Amino acid sequence: MRDKKKKSLKGQAKTVALSLDAEQIKGRDPVLLFTASQIDEVLADAEVHPLPFAANHLVGLCAWREQVLPIIDLVAFFDLIPSQKDKNERYVVVRTVDSTLLDTNKDNKEKQNTNKVVLRCVLKVSNQIISGDIPTECTAVFPKQAGFAPVFLKGLFQGEKKLFLLPDLATIIHSDVQGSTT
Amino acid sequence: MAQKAKDKKMLNIKKLFHSRQTIRGKLLFWLLIISLVPMAVIGFVSYNYSSSSLQHQSFEQLETTLAFQYQALQRYFDDQAKKLENIASNMEVFQEEAYTKLSAIRALQKKQIQDYFKIRFEDVKIFGQNPQQQQAFSQLLQNADTEPNSEFVEFLDEWLMNRDFASLTMLNQDGEVVYSTDKNVPRGATVHEGTSEWEAMQKGMLETRFIDYRPSSFHELKNVAYFSTPLFSADQPPSLLLFRLQDHALDSIMKEVPGLGETGETYLVGMDGMFRSNSRHFDEPTIANPSFLVDTESIVYALAGEDGETSVVNYRGDSVLSAYTAVSIYGVTWVLMVEINQAEAVIPKLEDGKTDLLSQLAQTYTFSDLYLVAPDGYIFASAKRHKDYLTNILTGPYADSMFNKAVQEVLETQKMAISDYAFYEPAGGQAEAFMAIPVMNDDAMSMIVALQISIDPINDIMKIRQDFEKESGQAEMEGHVEMIHVDTYLVGSDKLWRSEAFNPEKYQAKSTLLNPKVKADTKAVQQALAGKSDTQVIVNSLGEKALTSWSPVRYKGLQWALISEVAQKEVDRPVMQLLRIVGLLAFLAAIAVIFISLRVAGGVTKQVDEIMQGIAMVEKGEYGQQVKITSKDELGQMAGSFNQMTTTIHDLIESRQQEHDELQDSIIRLLEEITELADGDLSIRATVTEDVIGTLADSLNLMLEELGTAFVRIKQSAEQVGSTANILSASTGELAGQNNNQANMINEAVQEINQLTKAIREAADQANQSASFSRESSQVAGEGAKAVRETSQAMEAIRGNVQNTARSIKRLGESSQEISDFARTINEISDRTSILALNASIQAAAAGEEGRGFAVVAEEIQRLAERAAVSTRQIETLIKNILGEITEAGISMDSSIQEVVQGTQLSQNALSRLDEITERSNEVFELIQGVASASQQQADTTAILATSMGEIGSISLETAEEAMGASVSMQEMAVMGDDMLQAVATFKLESDKKDPDNDVLEADPFDA
């Protein structure tokens, strides 16, 4: 039996752009950028269960496929200014991989064991969701310049009309502080 | 002749019975009735009275017997229960004493064990601290190949032996054997993890410790215990000395314990359930032997820190009384158990050493058997030791017996229980019942005392019926003693007998006790089992009527029926004999009555026959015949009277004949004289004789005289009538002429009145014309109102139509709203479709090359969804516009409706005005109508008046005509009076004979 040739997928990765319901940053609309494999589902309707005494960016919890996931509003997390337009919000289930250490003794390098854990959360975004190719015509921006804490972003790129944010969801989920530098 | 007479007599006798019309027959019948009926009544009353008295007496005695037997049964069961309670309380006392003894032994042994281990501990500790031992062992440590000297070895052996240690082993800090007195433990052997040596190394390197039994590193498949102590030296690392405890170290304490009898023992158990001492009942060592495990509840309680006494089933499966406690030995906890067999504890042997208390009690109280049962159902003691001894009554071979039921009930209720009788195989298949009672120890049941009851006492109680028979059942008749057999018996809830019948053969069985062939399912049994008592005549199980008394017998769980019965026919026997005697007497009396009545009747009927013959002769007309007198009683007197009567009748007939002839002659003579009278000669007179005819003649003569006088008067009156008629005729002629004048004057008056009537009619016609004009104006006003009304109705119709139109427009609006809702739904669907397409495209993107085709499909779906969204948005816009226009139309409709309402209001006002006009016109019309009608009436009245006057005129004319007629009649009357005179003149009267020339005088017209 001949082996099937695996075609290279380099340069053909699909992305999903999720617009945020926020005012423009540096004259551009803020958009979250994820790979298609990171998006599990766009929810048609989500039953939000609020959490008392939770942080502002934690909207609540919702049930998804026998799991309980936190709902995170990145507009509140990054302390952006919410948009004044009519709000048509969507909830998107996003996953990420988190690496955790078994051995808490970090000095003992020989005996460190790492384990990768899949984390999921629900992001509250606008109804502008576009699936397409990687936007190649954009330039990198240092997060602090745009008012973002670098630790929470894997990357920040500005295009002609949009500002693409690549959030580090694992860090955001584990964090108990806000993600802006202000 | 004789034969004929005989036949005749027979015929008469037959007639006597066939026909009741003869006196003889009647006499016979009524005499029989009079004599036999009272006898029958007396016999019947006597039978009933004596039967009921006998029955009543029998009932009383049955009830008395029943009550006596019931009391006897109650007493018997109460007696048994009391005995059982006494035995149980004795058992409880013995049990308490046993527990006290066990507790004392437990405390003593615990102290002994703790002291022993304390001593061993100190020994080991001191040994380890001894400098000489330290030095000796240090040398061993320095040089692994060195052997200790023989003196030291000897010393060690003796030291170990005196202290119940099996060996001494030295370990270095690495767990290797440096030295051991046990040849089976080689040098250099290492300790394995999880063994007792290993634990000793973990715990004992700093201080002396006691290590509980565990598997050994050096002895395969063996558990060992150590005392360990560390060995310190200045220049050497610390090492460990292990002193292994002998298996029999505690035997002297545990095995030899006085006061525990043959079955008692004490033993130690570790937390793992294995023995920590050797059992006195097994030659094989039980210490740390996994073949002997103890897992009773008391182990758990003791390890939890409780001391207690209880009854349990021990490791050997025996029911024992047990006292337990925990013993702590330098951090190790063991459980000390002190036990003795329950049977040995509560059943002491008597002085002879052979018999025990249980057997003696059973013998004394004549129990079939007496048991002690453990709470798990095990029969651990029995007086008679039948097949059920040492079996489990709850789960064993006799688990289906009544014994099981009694024990189960005691376990459930913790109170005394009694089971019913049933055949019990260990008792030789005899019918036995069981009574059981629990023995408690601190609210927990420690055992059950049960006794087995035979059926014999019950049968003895039932034999009380024989006394009844002796008292009241005997009836002597002609030298025989008649016994009335009474059956008293017990029946259980299963309808089977619980006693033996007096005569089982009557029930076609050898024995009635628990015999399913002899089921007693009668009314008495049913009622008694239902809890009722009564005494009645019912049908018993043999199908015969019996006087029966019944009552329930209830004792704890027992539910029986106590029946006492005697057959009805046996009770009624003396009454039946009496009935037979009375019947015989009645028969003899009947025969005597028949004989006597025949004799008496014969004498009576002979005289009657003679009289009957005489009457027959008289019927024929032979009055001379005399009747023969055959008796001197009333009938003979009647015959004599009959003869006199016939003689008198004969004489009377002859005298009457003579009188008849004389009378006939007188009648002929009278007839001749009446013939002459018929010719008109009223002067004739009949001959008066002395007989009846003479009276008749006399009356005739009187009549003739009166008749002559009347004719004279008639003659005179006729003459008067003629003269009066002539005078009246002249008067009536004058009256007729005057009446004609009156009639002419009335006619003239009538003509005047007619003219008046005509004038009044003309006035009435004019009034009618006015009324018609008024009516026309009223009609016109009505037509106007009608037109206005129609106008108003038309406007109402218009308003209705407008309202309907408004409603239609509203519905249209609602439909538009529904369309809008549908559009919204479509919008949502398109929205969801869009999300679905998005998800699909995302998944397709994640799938890579394989998902390309799917991504195309997803894109297409998304485009379709967008188009649908756009279309629904356009639809929504259109619907909004339509709704706006509908709203405007609705508003204009409303204003139209308002104007229509106003127009309707105005037409309503006009209508009301026209109605008023119509009303007024009608009133005018009515007034004029009234005037016209009054005029009409006046005209009619005058017309009537004229008519009346005309009639008066015609009446006057008629009167005149009638007067003329009367005059004519009077003339005719005068003519008739003349005719009458001529008619009377034909009769010849007696006065004529006296004065023949007398003329008729003229009557005075004023004579009445």
In this prediction, residues B580-605 reach a mean pLDDT of 80
- Residue B980's Cβ-count burial label (10 Å; 0-12, 13-18, 19+) is middle
In sequence order, which ranges of B296-394 are alpha helices (DSSP H)? Answer: 297-303, 342-346, 357-364
CB-CB contact of B395 with B416 (8 Å): no
The rounded Cα A127 to chain-centroid distance in angstroms is: 16
| pLDDT value of residue B938 | 74
Residue type, A112: Q
In this prediction, residues B222-241 reach a mean pLDDT of 85
In this prediction, residues B240-255 reach a mean pLDDT of 88
Q: What is the DSSP letter of B260?
A: S
**CA dist B708 → B671, B698, B891, B993 (Å):** 21, 16, 132, 12
| pLDDT value of residue B205 | 82
Residue A173, chain B, CB below 8 Å: the answer is no
Domain extents for chain A?
A: 14-174
The tokens describing B361, both together, are 């009690």
In this prediction, residues B457-484 reach a mean pLDDT of 60
Instruction: Give the CA count within 13 Å in the CB-facing half-sphere of B378.
Output: 16
The tokens describing B318, both together, are 């025996």
- Residue B454's Cβ-count burial label (10 Å; 0-12, 13-18, 19+) is middle
Q: What is the pLDDT of residues A59-101, one digit of tens each?
A: 999 999 989 999 999 999 999 999 877 667 899 999 988 765 4
Indicate yes or no: CB of B842 within 8 angstroms of CB of A39.
yes
| List of chain A residues whose C-beta atoms are within 8 Å of the C-beta of residue B846 | 14, 35-37, 39
Residues of chain A with pLDDT under 50: 1-11, 101-103, 106, 109-112
CA–CA dist B901, B802 (Å, integer):
11
CB-CB contact of B374 with B380 (8 Å): yes
Report chain B's terminal Cα–Cα distance, integer Å. Answer: 100
In this prediction, residues B328-332 reach a mean pLDDT of 88
Domains and CATH numbers, chain B: 251-343 (3.30.450), 347-454 (3.30.450.20), 458-577 (3.30.450.20), 692-984 (1.10.287)
CB count within 10 Å of CB B621 equals 7
CA–CA dist B69, B56 (Å, integer):
20
Indicate yes or no: CB of B839 within 8 angstroms of CB of A36.
no
Residue A18, chain B, CB below 8 Å: the answer is no
Higher-confidence position of B663 and B198: B198
| Local structure of B4: helix, strand or coil | helix
Residue B224: left if φ>0, alpha if ψ -120 to 50, beta else—which one? beta
Higher-confidence position of A1 and B568: B568
CA–CA dist A90, B969 (Å, integer):
146
CA–CA dist B344, B878 (Å, integer):
107
Residues of B contacting chain A (CB within 8 angstroms): 831-832, 835-836, 838-839, 841-843, 845-846, 848-849
Between CA B87 and CA B95, with CA B91 as vertex, the angle to 5 degrees is 170
The tokens describing B816, both together, are 């538009």
CA–CA dist B809, B893 (Å, integer):
9
The tokens describing B763, both together, are 């006035």
> Mean pLDDT in chain B?
81
Considering only CB atoms, B838 lies closest to which of A7, A12, A131, namely A131
Residue A7, chain B, CB below 8 Å: the answer is yes
CB-CB contact of B348 with B271 (8 Å): no
Residue B541 has pLDDT above 90, yes or no: no
Distance from CA of A147 to the nearest CA of B (A): 30
The tokens describing B291, both together, are 């073949």
| pLDDT value of residue B411 | 93
CA–CA dist B459, B499 (Å, integer):
6
| List of chain A residues whose C-beta atoms are within 8 Å of the C-beta of residue B848 | 9, 12
- Residue B477's Cβ-count burial label (10 Å; 0-12, 13-18, 19+) is exposed
| pLDDT value of residue A10 | 39
ipTM attached to this prediction: 0.81
Indicate yes or no: CB of A131 within 8 angstroms of CB of B846.
no
Q: Which H, E and C letters describe B402-462, residue by residue? A: HHHHHHHHHHHHCCCEECCCEEEHHHCCEEEEEEEEEEEECCEEEEEEEEEEECHHHHHHH
Reduced DSSP (H G I as helix, E B as strand, rest coil) percent helix, strand, coil of chain B, to 5 = 60, 15, 25
| pLDDT value of residue B434 | 94
Q: What is the pLDDT of residues A154-163, one digit of tens each?
A: 889 988 899 9
CA–CA dist B673, A125 (Å, integer):
170
Distance from CA of A178 to the nearest CA of B (A): 30
In this prediction, residues B981-985 reach a mean pLDDT of 66
CA–CA dist B551, B68 (Å, integer):
12
Distance from CA of A42 to the nearest CA of B (A): 6
CA–CA dist B206, B198 (Å, integer):
14
Between CA A162 and CA A167, with CA A163 as vertex, the angle to 5 degrees is 135
In this prediction, residues B985-992 reach a mean pLDDT of 63
Indicate yes or no: CB of B842 within 8 angstroms of CB of A36.
yes
Indicate yes or no: CB of B838 within 8 angstroms of CB of A37.
no
CA–CA dist B193, B571 (Å, integer):
99
| pLDDT value of residue B236 | 76
The rounded Cα B824 to chain-centroid distance in angstroms is: 65
| pLDDT value of residue B963 | 61
Residue type, B933: S
| pLDDT value of residue B424 | 92
Q: Which H, E and C letters describe B625-650, residue by residue? A: CCCCCCCCCHHHHHHHHHHHHHHHHH
CB-CB contact of B571 with B54 (8 Å): yes
CA–CA dist B104, B111 (Å, integer):
11
Q: Give B735's pLDDT tier (boundaries 50, 70, 90).
A: low
The rounded Cα B994 to chain-centroid distance in angstroms is: 123
| pLDDT value of residue B474 | 47
Higher-confidence position of B734 and B197: B197
| Disruptive mutation site among A131, A133, A134 for chain B (greatest number of B CBs within 10 Å) | A131
Helix axes B131-142, B23-129, angle to 10 degrees: 80
Residue with token string 């034999």: B463
CA–CA dist B673, B697 (Å, integer):
9
129-168 of A, contacting B, C-beta below 8 A: 129, 131
Q: What is the pLDDT of residues B603-619, one digit of tens each?
A: 777 888 888 888 898 88
Considering only CB atoms, A16 lies closest to which of B836, B842, B848, namely B842
CATH number of A14-174: 2.40.50.180
| pLDDT value of residue A31 | 94
Considering only CB atoms, A41 lies closest to which of B831, B839, B849, namely B839
CB-CB contact of B563 with B525 (8 Å): yes
Higher-confidence position of B141 and B492: B492
Indicate yes or no: CB of B832 within 8 angstroms of CB of A16.
no
| pLDDT value of residue A1 | 36
The rounded percent of chain B whose pLDDT value lies above 70 is: 85
Closest CA to A122 of A11, A45, A179, A30: A45
Q: Give B781's pLDDT tier (boundaries 50, 70, 90).
A: low
CB-CB contact of B394 with B407 (8 Å): yes
CA–CA dist A93, B605 (Å, integer):
141
The tokens describing B620, both together, are 């024929």
| Disruptive mutation site among B834, B836, B839, B857 for chain A (greatest number of A CBs within 10 Å) | B839
| Disruptive mutation site among A14, A15, A33, A43 for chain B (greatest number of B CBs within 10 Å) | A14
CB-CB contact of B548 with B562 (8 Å): no
Count how many pairs of residues, chain A against chain B, have C-beta atoms within 8 Å: 35
CA–CA dist B985, B498 (Å, integer):
140
Residue of chain B with shortest Cα separation from A93: B839
| List of chain A residues whose C-beta atoms are within 8 Å of the C-beta of residue B841 | 131
Reduced DSSP (H G I as helix, E B as strand, rest coil) percent helix, strand, coil of chain A, to 5 = 15, 45, 40
Considering only CB atoms, B845 lies closest to which of A14, A44, A129, namely A14
CB-CB contact of B165 with B116 (8 Å): no
Residue B934 has pLDDT above 80, yes or no: no
Least confident among B78-92, B537-551, B592-606: B592-606
